[in-house]
Chains A and B, each alone.
Chain A
Amino acid sequence: MTEIELRVNGSLRTVATQPDRSLLAVLREDLRLTGTKYGCGEGECGSCTVLLDGEAVRSCQVSVSEVGSRSVTTVEGLAKDGRLNPVQQAFVELGSFQCGYCTPGMVVRATALLRSNPMPSREEIRRGLEGNLCRCCGYAGILRAIERAVELAQGARRDL
Chain B
Amino acid sequence: MRDLARPRRPWDRTPPADREYFDVLGPGLVALLPGRRPDESAGGGWRPPTGGAWLHVDPQGNAIAFTGKAEVGQGTRAALTVVVSDGLRVSPDRVDLVMGDTDLCPWDMGTFGSRSMPDAAPALGSVAGGARTALIGLAAERTGRPTSELDAEDGEVRLRDGGGAISYGDLVRDRNRLVTVAALESWVPTPKGRSPPAFPPKPGADIVTGARVYGSDLHPSGLLYGALLHPPAYGARLASVDLTAVERLADVTIVRDGSFVGVVAPTLRAARAAVGEIRATWDRTNQPDEDSIEGYLRAHPMEGDFWDQEEDTAGDVDAAYGRAPVTIAQTYRTAFIAHVPLETRSAVAEWDGPRLTVWVGTQTPFRARDTIAEGLGLTPEQVRVIVPPTGAGFGGKHGGDLGIAAARLARAAHRPVRLAYSREEEFRFAYFRPMSVIDVRAGTDREGRLVAWAFHNINGGSAALLAPYRVTDRRVDNELSLSPLPQGSYRALAATANNFARETAIDELARAAGVDPLAMRRMNLDDDRLRAVLDRAVERADWHRWSRVPGRGHGLAVGLEKDSRVATVAEITVSEDGRVRLDRLVTAFEAGAIVHPENLRSQVEGATTMGIGGALFEAVRFEAGSVKNPHLAQYRVPRFSDLPELVVELVDRPDLPPSGAGETPMIAVAPAIGNAICDATGTRVRRLPLTPDGRIPGPDSR
Structural contact, B602 and A100, CB atoms closer than 8 A = no
* Among A44, A129, A132, residue most surrounded by chain B Cβ atoms (within 10 Å): A44
Q: How many A-B residue pairs have CB under 8 A?
A: 174
Chain B residues near A129: list those with CB within 8 A: 640
Chain A residues near B612: list those with CB within 8 A: 137
Q: Is B343 an interface residue (CB 8 A)?
A: yes
Structural contact, B342 and A135, CB atoms closer than 8 A = yes
* Among A74, A92, A107, A132, residue most surrounded by chain B Cβ atoms (within 10 Å): A92
Which chain A residues (88-102) contact chain B, with CB distance < 8 Å? 88, 91-93, 95, 97-102
Structural contact, B217 and A136, CB atoms closer than 8 A = no
* Among A75, A78, A99, A132, residue most surrounded by chain B Cβ atoms (within 10 Å): A99
Structural contact, B205 and A92, CB atoms closer than 8 A = yes
Q: Is B325 an interface residue (CB 8 A)?
A: no
List 21 A–B pairs whose Cβ atoms lie within 8 Å, in order of A's numbering.
Answer: A21-B269, A29-B267, A35-B209, A35-B210, A37-B214, A45-B423, A78-B209, A84-B205, A84-B209, A88-B209, A95-B204, A95-B602, A99-B342, A100-B391, A101-B343, A103-B207, A126-B643, A135-B340, A139-B640, A140-B609, A143-B640
Which chain A residues (122-151) contact chain B, with CB distance < 8 Å? 126-127, 129-141, 143
Q: Is the interface of B mostly helix, strand, loop or mixed?
A: loop
Structural contact, A104 and B641, CB atoms closer than 8 A = no
Q: Is B268 an interface residue (CB 8 A)?
A: yes
Structural contact, B74 and A98, CB atoms closer than 8 A = yes
Q: Is A41 an interface residue (CB 8 A)?
A: yes
Contact-size category for B: 35 or more
Chain B residues near A38: list those with CB within 8 A: 216, 344, 420
Q: Mark B377-419, 1 if CB is under 8 A from A, else 0.
A: 0000000000001111010000000000000000000000000
Q: Is B638 an interface residue (CB 8 A)?
A: yes
Q: Mark B194-224, 1 if CB is under 8 A from A, else 0.
A: 0000000011110111111110110100000
Which chain B residues (623-643) contact chain A, with CB distance < 8 Å? 631-633, 637-641, 643
Chain A residues near B598: list those with CB within 8 A: 95
Structural contact, A47 and B208, CB atoms closer than 8 A = no
Q: Is A112 an interface residue (CB 8 A)?
A: no
Q: 11 additional contacts, CB 8 Å, given A34-B219, A79-B209? A: A28-B217, A29-B267, A37-B343, A39-B342, A84-B209, A98-B392, A101-B342, A101-B391, A133-B632, A140-B605, A143-B640
Tally chain A residues at the interface, Cβ within 8 Å. Answer: 56
Which chain B residues (61-75) contact chain A, with CB distance < 8 Å? 72-75
Which chain B residues (155-174) contact chain A, with CB distance < 8 Å? none
Structural contact, B643 and A140, CB atoms closer than 8 A = yes
Q: Is B575 an interface residue (CB 8 A)?
A: no
Structural contact, A141 and B605, CB atoms closer than 8 A = yes
Structural contact, B599 and A95, CB atoms closer than 8 A = yes
CA distance A78 to B612 in the complex (A): 33
CA distance A61 to B210 in the complex (A): 20
CA distance A34 to B599 in the complex (A): 26
Structural contact, A101 and B214, CB atoms closer than 8 A = yes
Provided the pairs A104-B208, A130-B641, A139-B640 are in contact, do residues A99 and B202 lie with their beta carbons within 8 angstroms?
no
Chain A residues near B140: list those with CB within 8 A: none
Q: Is B532 an interface residue (CB 8 A)?
A: no
The closest CB in chain A to the CB of B199 belongs to A95
In the A-B complex, list the 4 residue pairs whose CB atoms are closest, starting with the nearest: A35-B210, A99-B73, A101-B391, A137-B609
Structural contact, A130 and B268, CB atoms closer than 8 A = no
* Among A28, A131, A137, residue most surrounded by chain B Cβ atoms (within 10 Å): A137
Which A residues are closer than 8 A to B by beta carbons?
18, 21, 25, 28-29, 32-42, 44-45, 47, 74-76, 78-79, 84, 87-88, 91-93, 95, 97-104, 107, 126-127, 129-141, 143
Provided the pairs A39-B342, A135-B341 are in contact, do residues A92 and B208 lie with their beta carbons within 8 angstroms?
yes
Structural contact, A100 and B212, CB atoms closer than 8 A = yes
Structural contact, B208 and A103, CB atoms closer than 8 A = yes
CA distance A127 to B366 in the complex (A): 43
CA distance A99 to B637 in the complex (A): 17
Chain B residues near A139: list those with CB within 8 A: 609, 638-640, 643
Chain A residues near B638: list those with CB within 8 A: 137, 139
Q: Is B525 an interface residue (CB 8 A)?
A: no
Provided the pairs A47-B342, A75-B209 are in contact, do residues A141 and B602 lie with their beta carbons within 8 angstroms?
yes
Provided the pairs A35-B209, A40-B423, A134-B342 are in contact, do residues A97 and B204 lie with their beta carbons within 8 angstroms?
yes
Structural contact, A76 and B209, CB atoms closer than 8 A = yes
CA distance A69 to B603 in the complex (A): 43
Structural contact, B631 and A40, CB atoms closer than 8 A = yes
Residue from B389, B599, B606, B632 within 8 A of A137 (CB atoms): B606
Structural contact, A136 and B208, CB atoms closer than 8 A = no
The closest CB in chain B to the CB of A107 belongs to B208
* Among A35, A38, A102, A136, residue most surrounded by chain B Cβ atoms (within 10 Å): A136
Structural contact, A101 and B641, CB atoms closer than 8 A = no
Q: Is B646 an interface residue (CB 8 A)?
A: yes
Q: Is B440 an interface residue (CB 8 A)?
A: no
Structural contact, A93 and B606, CB atoms closer than 8 A = no
CA distance A139 to B611 in the complex (A): 13
CA distance A44 to B207 in the complex (A): 21
The closest CB in chain B to the CB of A36 belongs to B210
Chain B residues near A130: list those with CB within 8 A: 639-641
Residue from B209, B219, B269, B641 within 8 A of A32 (CB atoms): B219
Q: How far is the CB of A62 from chain B (nearest CB, A)?
A: 15
Residue from A28, A45, A98 within 8 A of B75 (CB atoms): A98
Provided the pairs A39-B342, A91-B208 are in contact, do residues A136 and B267 lie with their beta carbons within 8 angstroms?
no
CA distance A95 to B420 in the complex (A): 28
CA distance A95 to B73 in the complex (A): 12
Q: Is B14 an interface residue (CB 8 A)?
A: no
CA distance A129 to B638 in the complex (A): 13
Q: How far is the CB of B308 from chain A (nearest CB, A)?
A: 25
Provided the pairs A93-B202, A101-B392 are in contact, do residues A136 and B210 lie with their beta carbons within 8 angstroms?
no
Q: Is B422 an interface residue (CB 8 A)?
A: yes
CA distance A104 to B205 in the complex (A): 11
Q: Mark B406-443, 1 if CB is under 8 A from A, else 0.
A: 00000000000000101100000000000000000000
CA distance A126 to B207 in the complex (A): 21
Structural contact, B606 and A44, CB atoms closer than 8 A = no
Chain A residues near B646: list those with CB within 8 A: 140
Provided the pairs A42-B631, A42-B633, A141-B602 are in contact, do residues A99 and B390 lie with their beta carbons within 8 angstroms?
yes
Structural contact, B268 and A100, CB atoms closer than 8 A = no
Q: How far is the CB of A130 from chain B (nearest CB, A)?
A: 5
Structural contact, B219 and A138, CB atoms closer than 8 A = no
Provided the pairs A97-B207, A133-B632 are in contact, do residues A138 and B212 lie with their beta carbons within 8 angstroms?
no
Chain A residues near B342: list those with CB within 8 A: 37, 39, 45, 47, 99, 101-102, 133-136
CA distance A100 to B638 in the complex (A): 17
* Among B219, B342, B608, B633, residue most surrounded by chain A Cβ atoms (within 10 Å): B342
The closest CB in chain B to the CB of A85 belongs to B208
Provided the pairs A78-B209, A126-B640, A133-B637 are in contact, do residues A99 and B391 lie with their beta carbons within 8 angstroms?
yes
Provided the pairs A37-B343, A126-B643, A133-B632 are in contact, do residues A138 and B208 lie with their beta carbons within 8 angstroms?
no
Chain B residues near A140: list those with CB within 8 A: 605, 609, 643, 646
Provided the pairs A39-B423, A99-B73, A102-B342 are in contact, do residues A136 and B207 lie with their beta carbons within 8 angstroms?
no
Q: Is B482 an interface residue (CB 8 A)?
A: no
The closest CB in chain B to the CB of A95 belongs to B598
